[in-house]
Amino acid sequence: MKLNYTATISLLALGLAAAHAEEKPISVPGLAPAAKAPAAPVAPAFTEAQIVEEFGWFVGKRVGLTELEFTPAEVAAFVKGVSTAAAGKDTPFELEKIGPLMDEFMQKKQAAFTAKAKTKSLAAATAFFAKLKENKNVVELPSGLRYEIVKPGEGAFPKASDTVKVHYVGTLIDGTEFDSSVKRGEPAEFPLEGVIPGWTEGLQKINKGGKLKLYVPPHIAYGDDGKGGIPPGSTLIFEVDLLEIKAPGAAAPAPAAPAPAAPGGK
């Protein structure tokens, strides 16, 4: 388990505290510095027990105990294993023998979570698309993709073999935002053939300078797998501004910084 993020935040906080401690008051000639009143001791915001409890919560969330739906007995067994490890004791069982069974157990838990999440997502998508039929501006394609032109562009439309530069915001059908080039403050650039099918097909429906909304069902998005904040079986909504189209072989300027990951990448 990687805790680099937490460690970085802690080091940053220590660095800021050290920098603040080194700050000196401005010296004005002829003016004696005012006497400082003794600082009152500050009570700690949290006890050590609370800090350790929070660390336990953090580990549990990273492991995915909620998604795996451990029973109270399984949670107790998990805590017992953590206690054994914290005491510096050896594994209570032969890892070579129990390891494959542990993998099988966790795979079953993961499969159950995926199936449940998929059923929930598909039920929500069915209701969502039924409601979407009321919007006469939405066009449904044979693939199941729906799109809506928010602002027409001008000129040629991109082809699947082209590279496009876009600004976009991606949300789930409940409004949860999972990705945004707008928030990153930098447009995304990628070949249309290198992203999910819903993007490859949908971006060919708008021309340069235009904006559209894509309603992408799971079978042309990430399917049952999900990805980084996207649950299995999710329908995705994207608002996309098409900024630029580059034909195959067009020289692209070297980026000043690493380019963001392509939205909806395969």
**Residues assigned a catalytic role:** 168, 178-179, 196, 222, 238
Single-letter amino acid, residue 233: G
230 touches 116 (CB < 8 A): no
Q: Are strands 211-216 and 146-151 parallel, antiparallel or unpaired?
A: antiparallel
3-state secondary structure of 98: helix
Amino acid, res. 95: L
**What is the Cα Rg of the chain in Å?**
27
State the Cα–Cα distance between residues 216 and 59, nearest whole angstrom: 34
Element (H, E) at 113: helix 95-132
* Rounded CA separation 182/167 (Å): 6
Token readout for 135 is 């919007």
